[in-house]
Amino acid sequence: MSKSLNLDTMVNTCERKGLQVLGTGDIMQPDWLKYMEENLEKNGKGMYTYKDIYFVLQSELEDEENIHHIVFFPDFSVVREVQKKLDPYSSNIRGEWGGRPRVNLSPPQLADIIIENGGLIGPAHAFTPFKAIFRQNRYKSLEECYQDASHKIHFLELGLSANTDLADRLKALNEVTFLSNSDAHSQKSYSLGREFNQFYIEEPSFEEIQLALERKDGRKISLNVGLHPKLGKYYNMFCNKCRRRILFKKSKNDLGINFSKYSVTDNFIIFYESNPDIARNTYIQQVATKKMVCPACKEKTGKNIKIKLGVSERIDSISSYKEPKHPTHRPPYINAIPLIDIIRSIKGIKSKNSKTVVKAYNGIVDNLGTEYEILLDLPVETIKRCNKEIGGVIEGFRNDAIEYIPGGGGTYGNFKFDAE
- 3-class secondary-structure state, position 36: helix
Which of 110/124 has CB closer to Zn ion? 124
Q: Which of 21, 115, 172, 242 binds Zn ion (CB under 5 A)?
A: 242
Counting contacts by CB under 5 A, is residue 297 touching Zn ion?
A: yes
Question: Which residues neighbour 362 within 8 Å (Cβ) at sequence distance 6 or greater?
Answer: 16
Whether 16 contacts 193, CB under 8 Å: no
339 binds Zn ion (CB under 5 A): no
Q: How far is the CB of 119 from Zn ion (least distance, A)?
A: 17
402 and 342 in contact (C-beta within 8 Å)? no
Q: Which of 231, 294, 334, 357 touches Zn ion (CB under 5 A)? A: 294
Contact window for Zn ion (CB under 5 A) among 2-10, 45-53, 240-248, 280-288: 240-248
Name which position in 17, 68, 219, 228 contacts Zn ion (CB under 5 A): 68
Query: Cα 163 to chain center, whole Å?
Result: 9
CA distances from 357 to 315, 341, 361, 367 (A): 35, 9, 6, 15
Give the shortest CB-406-to-Zn ion separation in angstroms.
17
The H-or-E segment that residue 295 falls in is: helix 295-301
Q: Tell the smallest beta-carbon distance from residue 137 to Zn ion (Å).
A: 18
Using the minimum distance from each CB to Zn ion, give the nearer residue, 192 or 360: 192
Alpha helices per DSSP H over 52-177: 76-86, 107-116, 142-146, 164-167
Q: Which is nearer to Zn ion, 241 or 384 (CB)?
A: 241
Which part of the chain contacts Zn ion (CB under 5 A), choosing from 71-79, 82-90, 292-300, 387-395? 292-300
Among 67, 296, 336, 365, interactor with Zn ion by CB under 5 A: 296
Closest CA relative to residue 331, chosen from 153, 151, 168, 161: 168
Q: Among residues 80 and 243, whose Cβ is nearest to Zn ion?
A: 243
Residue 28 found at the interface with Zn ion (CB under 5 A): no
Rounded distance between C-alpha atoms, residue 287 and residue 272, angstroms? 17
Kindly tell me which of 7 and 124 has the beta carbon lying closer to Zn ion: 124
Asked if 225 is part of the footprint of Zn ion (rule: CB under 5 A), the reply reads no
CB 169 within 8 A of CB 11: no
Residue 239 within binding range of Zn ion, rule CB under 5 A: yes
DSSP-based three-state secondary structure for 270: strand
Residue 201 touching Zn ion (CB under 5 A)? no
How many residues sit close enough to Zn ion to count as binding (CB under 5 A)? 9
Q: In the complex with Zn ion, which residue's Cβ is closer, 242 or 270?
A: 242
User: What gap in Å lies between CA 320 and CA 338, rounded to an integer?
Assistant: 31
Q: Which residues pair with 293 in a beta bridge?
A: 306
Contact residues toward Zn ion (CB under 5 A) are: 60, 68, 124, 239, 241-242, 294, 296-297
